Amino acid sequence: MVAFILRRALLAIPTLIFISFISFVIIQLPPGDYVSAYAAELRRMGDYISPLQEAAMREQLGLNDPMLVQYWRWISAIVLRGDFGYSLDWNAPVSNLIWDRLGLTLMISSASLVITWLIAIPVGVYSATRQYSFLDYLFTVFGFLGKGVPDFLLALVLMWLSFSYLNLNVGGLFSPEFQNAPWTLAKVWDLATHLWIPLVVLATGGAAGLIRVMRANMLDELGKPYVETAYAQGLSEGKVVWGYPVRVALNPFISTVGWALPALFSGDIIVAVVLNLPTTGPLLLQALKMQDMYLAGSFILILSVFTVIGTLISDILLAWFDPRIRYA
């Protein structure tokens, strides 16, 4: 196991270098550059800059340098000084922009992930052990609806209901009067009144899919000989179900840590845009639209690091939970 972890850790270094380079190249593949996107945005608002001003901006920002030079300038600053560069669009350090929004992003993503698992695991186990019961059919309907209804549509419906019938402010995480106010009990309550919509939206889609996965895995395990042997030894249903097949059926949940970890950092971008959440997702979308290569590249690099770490954690946890899995 130790040798496996060391090998994976060493392989992660060239993997991340390759991903960072490919990401940096892809960001610049669309026609034009940040200056072109900036000029187009000015024209949309009724203003403009001359071609000479555009050329001067490109020279000042180093956009005329070869792509390899730009990449090396960016990646060497990250590796040697921990400097993720300067956002061309926001005119601010990339680190400040990311960390300012990271706290709320992690809070929302972590809470929705916990709620998803708290719903999906017991409901999936119940559906499998009470197959074809009324609640099993009910949970099946919920699963199909949860997967079929787009998250952004559910967000819009909940916003309309909360505004029309509950008289609550919708959109964002705070009411206007609490936006820049210091933390008080009133601000915490205001956050709670806004937070339930994104949590319900994110948890519904995730739980709906994982319920079906948990149910299917449990049905596969419940018919195996070791479960019948456990029942024959006189063990109670709770000990048999939760002590043996549930552990094996949890493998898909554990394997999703590889993508759940970067999802904690990025959040759900579409839901965040619809609900106007001050998280990292809309920031990444804006960076890609404006071809803000340093901000977008830093986002993708951090997501890649989280993905590699999450995959390694998944492999270790799978070997720990399931003794059938071993690594040389």
CATH number of 99-292: 1.10.3720.10
Domain-wise residue ranges, the chain: 99-292
Coil, strand or helix: which one is 93? strand
Residue of 257, 269, 262 lying closest to 303 (CA atoms): 262
Sequential pLDDT tens for the chain (328 residues): 677 778 877 888 888 888 888 888 888 887 778 888 888 888 888 888 888 888 888 888 888 888 888 899 888 988 888 888 888 888 888 888 888 888 888 888 888 888 988 999 999 999 999 988 999 999 989 888 888 888 888 888 988 988 888 887 777 888 878 877 888 888 888 888 888 888 888 888 888 888 988 999 899 888 888 888 888 888 888 888 888 888 888 877 777 766 777 777 766 788 888 888 888 888 888 888 888 888 888 888 888 888 888 887 887 777 777 666 665 5
CA distance 129 to 307: 34
Dig out the tokens for 232 from the structure. Answer: 């024959």
What's the CA dihedral at 101, 103, 109, 113 to 10 degrees? Answer: 170
Whole-number pLDDT of residue 322: 67
Listed residue (253, 161, 240, 238) closest to 207, CA to CA: 253
Residue 133: in which H helix or E strand, if any? none
Please report the DSSP string for 281-298 in residue order: HHHHHHHHHTT-HHHHHH
Q: CA-based Rg of the chain, rounded to a whole angstrom?
A: 24
pLDDT value of position 13? 84
Contacts of 209 (CB under 8 A, 6+ apart): 143, 146, 147
